[in-house]
Chain A
Amino acid sequence: MDVLTLPLNPSGSLEPLAITVSLDGDRIVDARIRHGALHRGIEEMALHWNLFQVLPLAERICGFCSLSNALTFARAVETIAGIVVPPRARYLRTLFLELERISSHFLWLATACHIAGHEALMMAVLSLRERVLDMLEGLTGKRSNCGVAAFGGTRVNLDDADIKALEEMIAFYRRELPPLQEVLVEGPLLRFRLQGVGVLPKEVAVRHGVVGPVARASGLYVDLRWSSPYEAYGDFDVQPRQVSDLMGRSRGDAFDRMVLRIMELRQSLEIIETLLQGIPGGNVLAVKKDRRLAALLRDAEGRALVSVEGPRGESLQRVTLCRGKIALSSWTLRSATYVNASSWPLLLRGEELSDVALIINSTDPCIACTERLFPLRPSPVPEMAPLRLSSAEDGEAAKEVAP
């Protein structure tokens, strides 16, 4: 057998990954994936900052699961400090988590259409996504990275006009989603393209411990919202969606992952709808005074392991706080993609080279989240003068970049 080993550049996979495939003709016999291109040293940075600064940093790990990451962090800190989040804030967090899921799933759909070559459908999906982004912008002031999370609650509150706008948004999606679903799911084109590609059978999915939509598309009942409800999820029906309910059977291929994400879009809309009806009143912050919150956090000590079901699956964080400082003593993140990535070589094996991007994308990878889990090897740091950015004429604006 004549095996050709070929490194694929990011244009081959559309992700910042170093993939080396071994090819027999057009078939992939083996694939090796190396991470590390997006390592930004966020965990290290966080150890030098105070908790208030780390929260926005957690938000910026990734643009599309920004709330999940920040909320996981906030929940971990709250657990350690013993802060009880008021009910209204719990509902609001749930609401924003679902809005984030909608925006992320739409983005995934658009990418899938793009990789399948349907630029026109991609634009259609993106134009639908625009509505939820506008909603987020109206509610929080930002379209992504919208800093909703705060220790002990949320930073935003809703008024009646906002709730009405949300209801209008749901009505909009109720109207616009079915035609799109008809094209994507019932139409022959994406089926022809995606079906039978990147099959992940149930047994293998269990063995690899995949999470999130990938696991659910393989027929597993894996959903933290359902199995260990947090925030307000205990109050709603969040039964994990299964492709077999809609399509009769599930194979766990790329097509099923698309169908599942469309089903989850509708599920999120349903959750938001019920949520808006029963949203309790009251405060959105447990500790209103800044000084008191700071004192609470300064006294907190201990560690917590908290996970939240993000749009891509379980996002897990282990947080250790040290006493006497408003600071972390360790922070470990494991994103959903880190788990799902272990199945990539398996998914790629036996497939065609043209499908690499499609398969990797079908698991909705977020490399920015994934590459947070690499231990920094302690190595002697070379002596370096601090980087200075100074304006041309005077040194007045000179500034150290060090955190």
Chain B
Amino acid sequence: MSWGTKIVASVALMLLAALIALIFEGADRVIQARIQRRLGPPLSQPFYDLVKLFAKESLLPSDALPWLFSGGPVFAAASALTIFLYIPIGSLPPVLAGGGDFLLALFLMFLSSFALILGALAGASPYGEIDAKKELDLIASCSVPLSVIASSLAWFAYRQGLPGAPFSLETFVAKPVWSVAGWSGIMGLIILAAAFLSLIPALADRVQRNIFGGSSRHFSGRTLLLSRLARNFRTLAFCSVFVSLFFPGSMGRFLDLRELALFSVDFLFFWVKVFLVQTVAVTWGGAFLGRFKNSRLSSFYGVAVTGVALAGLLLLFLDARL
């Protein structure tokens, strides 16, 4: 691809991802309301919110570092959107392919979280600081199992000889890891998938109890909008990475389609899968789990989920040995 097409494709994809993130948020709210036996807002509510927040004044705390305070959310939203450039959508290759795009996606995810936290810290309020610190703690403890999962998958892909670079998402999409695993391998993969799934609600800000309204408390107007968008984009990106890793498979190939039909069917199928994952992990997971205090969550993710992920790694290891 030439640079020009790449830029056009990137912008188009980012806009599309933003749109889908908002639609999914609306759907999330409707389903949540259904679980609570309410009607819930209309599907278009996130768009109304967007317009409303956009029109509101963005307040700047007097002690804040202006560039970091307002730049943090912008950066967070932008880096979360960039992730989509590294994710193969359906049968389409990612716009910016590279050898280590899986790691890059995770890195961008954390970058986006950190940018938001830095923005909150720049607000120079003790309340924002407390929540930001808690969030930092949680993200740090989430990164442990996530890196275990990532490296075990890559190792397994490399070991079983999946074609392509081991850390590339395309490798996992081209040939599902499930197809090269034996019984214990499948067990291990299921465990890893469950561990990955359990991380999604935490990163979607669904299971932690934010006493002061979370790290986005001091944002208002456009900065609040961006911080919320960043969270939505991150959730969507996370679900997409999950789909690419554990839930590949092409509808178009199954239906024996070609060319444009193949691409478009797979494209739609991909978003349907992402929607399913998001509904299960974020909407239902959030409603099921409730909110926990951050110290318990940190120990849960840092110890229990890491342990589970290590068990998965062990099973994969056994599978590769046998």
Task: Spell out A's residues near B (CB within 8 Å).
Answer: 4, 6, 11-12, 23, 26, 113, 116-124, 127, 189-190, 192-193, 352-357
Contact = CB atoms under 8 A, between A and B. Distances in A.
A189 B289 contact: yes
B253 interface: no
B36 A193 contact: no
B293 A352 contact: yes
A378 B163 CA distance: 87
B291 to A, nearest CB: 3
Interface stretch (B77-85, B207-215, B262-270): B207-215
Interface stretch (B6-14, B54-62, B126-134): B126-134
Contacts of A23: 130
A120 B286 CA distance: 10
Contacts of B291: 116-118, 193
B295 interface: yes
Contact of A357 (B127, B134, B211, B289): B211
B15 interface: no
Given A12-B211, A26-B134, A120-B35, A354 B290 contact: no
18 contacts: A4-B126, A6-B130, A12-B211, A26-B130, A113-B290, A117-B209, A118-B287, A118-B290, A120-B35, A121-B290, A122-B36, A123-B38, A124-B37, A189-B289, A193-B291, A354-B293, A354-B294, A354-B295
Contacts of A26: 130, 134, 295
A113 B291 CA distance: 10
Nearest to A26: B295
Nearest to A8: B211
Given A116-B290, A356-B211, 15 more contacts: A12-B211, A12-B212, A26-B130, A117-B207, A117-B289, A117-B291, A118-B287, A120-B36, A122-B36, A124-B37, A190-B290, A192-B292, A193-B292, A352-B293, A355-B293
Nearest to B36: A123
A26 B209 CA distance: 14
B159 interface: no
Contacts of A354: 134, 209, 211, 293-295
A352 B208 CA distance: 14
B52 interface: no
Contacts of A4: 126
A186 to B, nearest CB: 15
Interface residues of B, number: 24
B36 A119 contact: yes
A189 B211 contact: no
Contacts of A113: 290
Nearest to B137: A26
A220 B201 CA distance: 40
Nearest to A117: B291
A6 B126 contact: yes
A120 B38 contact: no
A192 B295 CA distance: 12
A193 B37 contact: no
Given A120-B36, A123-B38, A193 B211 contact: no
Contacts of B35: 120
Given A26-B295, A117-B291, A119-B287, A353 B211 contact: yes
A26 B297 CA distance: 14
Contacts of A116: 290-291
A193 B295 contact: no
A353 B130 contact: yes
Nearest to A189: B290
Contact of A117 (B126, B130, B290): B290
B131 to A, nearest CB: 10
B29 to A, nearest CB: 12
B289 to A, nearest CB: 7
A116 B291 CA distance: 6
Contacts of B289: 117, 189
Contacts of B36: 119-120, 122-123
A189 B207 CA distance: 12
Nearest to B292: A193
Given A123-B36, A357-B211, A352 B290 contact: no
Contacts of B288: 189
A192 B296 contact: yes
Interface in B42-98: none
Of A23, A353, A356, most buried by chain B (CB within 10 Å of CB) is: A353
A127 B293 contact: no
A116 B35 CA distance: 17
Of B35, B130, B213, B290, most buried by chain A (CB within 10 Å of CB) is: B290
Contact of A123 (B37, B207, B211, B294): B37
Interface in B270-318: 287-296
B66 to A, nearest CB: 25
A120 B32 CA distance: 8
Given A117-B207, A123-B36, A353-B130, A11 B295 contact: no
Of A6, A12, A117, most buried by chain B (CB within 10 Å of CB) is: A117
A330 to B, nearest CB: 41
Contacts of A121: 290
A6 B127 contact: yes
A364 to B, nearest CB: 20
Contacts of B287: 118-120
Nearest to B210: A354
Nearest to A12: B211
A255 to B, nearest CB: 14
Contacts of B211: 12, 353-354, 356-357
A368 B94 CA distance: 60
Contacts of B207: 117
